[in-house]
Amino acid sequence: MALLVGIAPMAHAQGWVKPTGWSDGGGGGAGSVWTVGNLAYDSNTGTYASNRSPNAVPNWGSWIIFSLGSTINCNQIKVFGDYGQNHVDNVQMDVYNTATAAWETVYTGAISDGSWFTVPFFTARTINQMRFRYRYYARNYNMWLMEVSLYSCPSSPTPPEVTTLNAASIDTNSAKFQGLIANDNCATCSIWFEYGSTQGGPYPSSTTVQTGYNTGDGFGTFQNSFTAGSTYYYRAVAQNSAGTTYGAEVDFTPKTPNPGAWIDPTSSSADGSPPTPNSDQWTNTQYVYDDDAKTSASLAHNTGDASPGVYLYLNHAAITCDKIRITAKKTSDITGMDIWVYRDGAWVNVYPTGTFVDNTPLTVSFSAGSVTQARIRFTTNDVGISLNVYAFDFHIAGVEHCKAFIDGAFGEANQ
């Protein structure tokens, strides 16, 4: 291991901390090297450590190793860096666990391009180093790592802090519950919602427990079978190893959505007659309409399958619709996305094999009509890969109902 640069003693309180030293750790293809690694922890996203790609690709580049002046108890790390652009298709992040005296991989996969990407650990561990590297598809190219931070937390966690957010996508008999982990207090959380028709409880119903949530994570779940015009109450719940916390109660009333509103599908299904040969069917399709970044509908596309992907169908009672919005996974091996809507009694291809950006909402507009379904499929290279759809919404055609200022007061008016 190369000599670490710029190490200085430091004491760590709870919160995000920066490395104090760095080194080029090698381990990549010939020609790959990191420079000015100190610029990845100067608290400035306008400066960056720079990594040269290997001479032979595809191949992993060299490691950049970050050190801390003292050991911390850590349950998450985050990075702000370049990604994609047909130059890289993966990153790897490891931490050095002082208890086991070994490097442990905590993440391999895609990261956000030019924004923070957080990696939570399911189990906190004592660490004094972390390392990062890119997998390249392009020769003679530089990728930039702008910032790195590590979360220092007490060895003994306390119960989490959770916030209940207002319901979204309120429809005739459905709504989307929403919550936020305001502070995990240094232990990864499980989350769920409790709900019912009585203010202040009791709450006779609960949603499915989901795991793996940390500070700053939003979460949600789609629920239906409500009665239009009736008022319902719910609260978010978070639990870590130290205890359970309840968010404040919020209420909502199911109703017909206004023009201009974005609403979720109310059911989903996979293609009953997929192409041959074909990959597996879509699973967990309900996660498409919970707007939770940690959940998604997924499909395993198999190596050797050259056919178009299996359609994912998203359904709603007839609405006058002029747009759809979708967020999905994109890698260099996912070459396009094909979107249709069932409008005025016929399938219409509104986005024929277009491109899109990883984990970024894409809005597709079309002539308004009566829509009851949408369907989505992906084209890929001939590789085994997981396809994922994180979120999908229909847009009600028209302009939202708004208020007008009349005679010194706000009155209702359709604009």
Cβ atoms of residues 155 and 25 within 8 Å? no
Looking at the predicted structure, is the pLDDT value of residue 329 above 70? Answer: yes
> What's the token pair of residue 286?
């309900």
Q: Is residue 4 part of a domain?
A: no
Last residue of some domain: 184, 218, 252?
Answer: 252
Residues 148 and 234 in one domain: no
Between CA 376 and CA 371 the distance in angstroms is 15
Domain range for 61: 15-152
Dihedral class, residue 212 (left if φ above 0, else alpha if ψ from -120 to 50, else beta): left
Phi (first) and psi of residue 315, to 5 degrees: -120, 155
Residue 320: which CATH number?
Answer: 2.60.120.260
Tell whether 377 is covered by a domain: yes
Residue 4 has pLDDT above 50, yes or no: no
Indicate if 287 and 244 belong to the same structural domain: no
Quick one: tokens of 274? 């997929």
Asked whether residue 306 is domain-assigned, the answer is yes
Residue 398 in contact with residue 260, Cβ under 8 Å?
yes
Structural domains in the chain (count): 3
pTM for the full model?
A: 0.72
268/365 same-domain check: yes
Supply the DSSP string of 198-260, one letter for each residue: STT----EEPPPEEEE-TT-EEEEEE----TT--EEEEEEEEETTEEEEPPPEEE---PPPTT
Choose between 392 and 120: higher pLDDT.
392
Residue 299 forms beta bridges with which residues?
387
Are 304 and 337 found together in one domain?
yes
The answer on 125 and 49 residing in a single domain is: yes
The pLDDT tens digits of the residues spanning 270-296 come to 887 776 665 678 889 989 988 787 889
pLDDT band of residue 404 (cuts 50, 70, 90) is very low
Q: Looking at the domain assignment, is residue 298 inside a domain? A: yes
Examine the fold and report which residue of 119, 152, 185 is the final residue of a domain before the chain moves on: 152
- Measured over the CA atoms of residue 45, residue 51, residue 57 and residue 58, the dihedral's sign is negative
Q: Is 373 helix (H, G, I), strand (E, B) or coil?
A: strand
Please indicate whether residue 75 or residue 396 has the higher confidence score (pLDDT): 396
Mean pLDDT within 63-86: 91
Which CATH number is 241's domain given?
Answer: 2.60.40.10
Domain presence at residue 115? yes
In this structure, are residues 52 and 121 in contact, taking their beta carbons and an 8 Å threshold?
A: no
* Parallel, antiparallel or unpaired: strands 189-196 and 232-240: antiparallel
State whether residue 358 is helix, strand or coil: coil
One domain for residues 247 and 268: no
> Are both 76 and 132 inside the same structural domain?
yes
Q: Does the pLDDT at position 415 exceed 70?
A: no
More confident residue, 147 or 334: 147
pLDDT higher at 177 or 120: 177
Q: State the chain's maximal CA–CA distance in angstroms.
A: 75
Residues 186 and 228 in one domain: yes
Radius of gyration of the chain (CA): 24
Query: Does residue 257 sit within a domain?
Result: no
DSSP 64-106: EEEEEEEEEEEEEEEEEE---TTTEEEEEEEEEETTTTEEEEE
Answer with the one of 197, 224, 252 that is the final residue of a domain.
252
pLDDT of the residue at 120:
84
Is there a single domain that holds both residue 267 and residue 376?
Answer: yes
Pair type for strands 312-328 and 362-380: antiparallel
Q: Are the beta carbons of 159 and 245 closer than 8 angstroms? A: yes
Question: Is residue 405 situated within a structural domain?
Answer: no
| CA separation for the pair 83, 141 (Å, rounded) | 12
Residues 238 and 334 in one domain: no
Which amino acid type is present at position 364?
Answer: V
222/79 Cα distance (integer angstroms): 31
- The verdict on residue 402 lying in a domain is no
Same domain, 64 and 146: yes
Are 285 and 392 within one domain? yes
